[in-house]
Amino acid sequence: MDSLKIAIQKSGRLSEDSLKLFKECGIKFSNGAKKLKTIASNFPLEFLFLRDDDIPGYVEDRVADVGIVGRNVLLESQKPVIEILKLGFSRCRLSLAVSRDVDYSGIEYFQNKSIATSYPFILKNHLDDHNIKAEIHKISGSVEIAPGIGLTDGICDIVSSGSTLISNGLKEVEVIMKSEAVLVGHDDLNDHKMKLLDRLVFRINAVLEGRNNKYVLLNAPNDQIDEIVKILPGMRSPTVLPLAEKGWSSIHSVINEDEFWENIERIREAGAEGILVVPIEKMIR
């Protein structure tokens, strides 16, 4: 039977985290640096290693069934390819930036100005939405030097920490979109490949949910259990076990990474002690 073909970036900011995700899904494969493709040994999955910009097109042409790209690349490609799943890594934003000396008051600043970018389609849409007419210079790399060498008034580029902007004398003034790595595909996989994709997505979700949650164990006096359980909802409900010491219990639960610190503070205030927080490798609801 056919394997599911997945296109991933050959080398770049998406590569390492993409490979790590499949390893954590229990999928085994060898990837030599020069390889163009490889087949997993324990799952019907074939990897194609490509430039990220080419991935939406390969999926459109059915050379690959699915792929991993940044949402920024997916949107810019304008290909009829759908986003299947957010993957939570390579988080960044596509932003407008200008020289730090500019007294910036709003997006009207860009009226009749020039902007360098590798994302002309997304930028044009955004400017149109705000009735801004600007001259867009498409350049494929080192966009951040354009204002400094007098090519354009501003840039529209990928930002994560912002340090590249700062070191080029620029400041971020508008966020156009937020991006992260996404699993993309087309919508007419045959039944066999659809089943493989479902199995793959099931595993990826288990890994991502594990990353987003922590296992928490703590001790509490019995009269505080109700209060603590309200803060720690758990997957179905928390586990409560008696301690050897009378009047005390151990409570086990799962807590979301995003709400973690706030909830831990509340749990301590409610009388919990001996709190252990343990990473979760996989989580299936």
Note the residues at the interface with ligand ATP (CB under 6 A). 9, 12-14, 51-53, 70, 72-73, 90, 92, 158, 160, 179
Provide the minimum distance between the beta carbon of 148 and ligand ATP in the complex, in angstroms, as a whole number: 19
Q: How far is the CB of 208 from ligand ATP (least distance, A)?
A: 17
3-state secondary structure 110-154: HCCCEEEECCHHHHHHHHHHCCCCCEEEECCCCHHHCCCCCCCCE
DSSP per-residue string spanning 172-205 = EEEEEEEE-EEEEE-S---HHHHHHHHHHHHHHH
Shortest separation between residue 267's beta carbon and ligand ATP, angstroms:
33
Min dist CB 242 to ligand ATP, Å, is 47
The residue type found at 144 is E
Q: Which of 212, 4, 175, 186 is nearest to 89 (CA)?
A: 212
Q: Which residue's CB is nearer to ligand ATP, number 51 or number 195?
A: 51
- Nearest to ligand ATP by Cβ — which residue? 70
The residue among 9 and 249 lying less far from ligand ATP, judged by its C-beta, is 9
Residue 20 is which amino acid?
K
Q: Which does 92 bind (CB under 5 to 8 A by kind): ligand ATP, Zn ion, none?
A: ligand ATP
Contact set for Zn ion, span 46-75 (CB under 5 A): 52-53
CB neighbour class for 82 (10 Å; exposed up to 12, middle 13-18, buried from 19): middle
Site residues (vs Zn ion, CB under 5 A): 52-53
